[in-house]
Chain A
Amino acid sequence: EAQVTQNPRYLITVTGKKLTVTCSQNMNHEYMSWYRQDPGLGLRQIYYSMNVEVTDKGDVPEGYKVSRKEKRNFPLILESPSPNQTSLYFCASSLGLTSGFLSYEQYFGPGTRLTVT
């Protein structure tokens, strides 16, 4: 079954304690992305990756890191989480560039609800 998986689904942590949220897709997609969703602010892109070892900032990258060492995995790293990073996080993947056009047909993971106290 084609899918995007995220782990953990729920996480409560304390300020400053480094954490990693994993994301994996089994569709051989090139484009992967992380979003956060907050009430009243909608979905905001944090980072995206066009392919292995190619990452770039989205609209809200501050306080986050990502890496893309393998095509299927795109972990989100919070080196020193703060309460304002409490949010619902989604990972997504898509084919990427096809004949010069970026496909916006993204497949989203189930989400990770993070609480930082």
Chain B
Amino acid sequence: LAKTTQPISMDSYEGQEVNITCSHNNIATNDYITWYQQFPSQGPRFIIQGYKTKVTNEVASLFIPADRKSSTLSLPRVSLSDTAVYYCLVGDENKAAGNKLTFGGGTRVLVKP
């Protein structure tokens, strides 16, 4: 099964940059890396997706090194409303498993005033 490893939790303060690293040592060659944000009792919300190097959108940046065995989600200048759980998602490297998707445990980010 595809395995992702993220820190369980992180604390930060308003206005700071938050970086969350996800390890995915067995990522398949043609798989994208996707990050989601989830607030309590709501469905996850897509944040950003990338394949290699760097991707940036209005919400976050995603850094992927050349070996693609990890990725880092960067949230610039966080606010209290960024307090949420963040998940990184990659596909299953065992293609016999079909197109099943397995979420990791997520990182709980707490932004303090």
Contact = CB atoms under 8 A, between A and B. Distances in A.
Interface of A: 4, 31, 33, 35, 42-45, 48, 50, 56-59, 88, 90, 92, 97, 100-111, 113
Tier of interface size on chain B: 20 to 34
23 contacts: A4-B43, A33-B101, A42-B103, A42-B105, A43-B87, A45-B102, A50-B99, A56-B100, A57-B100, A59-B100, A88-B41, A92-B43, A97-B99, A102-B31, A102-B99, A104-B89, A104-B90, A105-B46, A106-B44, A107-B46, A111-B42, A111-B43, A113-B41
Interface in B75-104: 87, 89-91, 98-104
Contacts of A102: 31, 91, 99
Interface of B: 1, 30-32, 34, 36, 41-46, 49, 87, 89-91, 98-106
A108 B44 contact: yes
A14 to B, nearest CB: 24
Contacts of B45: 108
Contacts of A48: 99-101
A contact patch SS: strand
Nearest to A31: B99
B1 to A, nearest CB: 8
B100 A109 contact: no
A2 to B, nearest CB: 12
A90 B43 contact: yes
Nearest to A41: B105
Contact of B46 (A58, A88, A106): A106
Q: Of residues B30, B44, B91, B106, which shows the largest number of chain A Cβ atoms within 10 Å of its Cβ?
A: B44
Given A35-B103, A90-B43, A108-B43, 6 more contacts: A42-B103, A48-B101, A58-B101, A107-B46, A111-B41, A113-B41
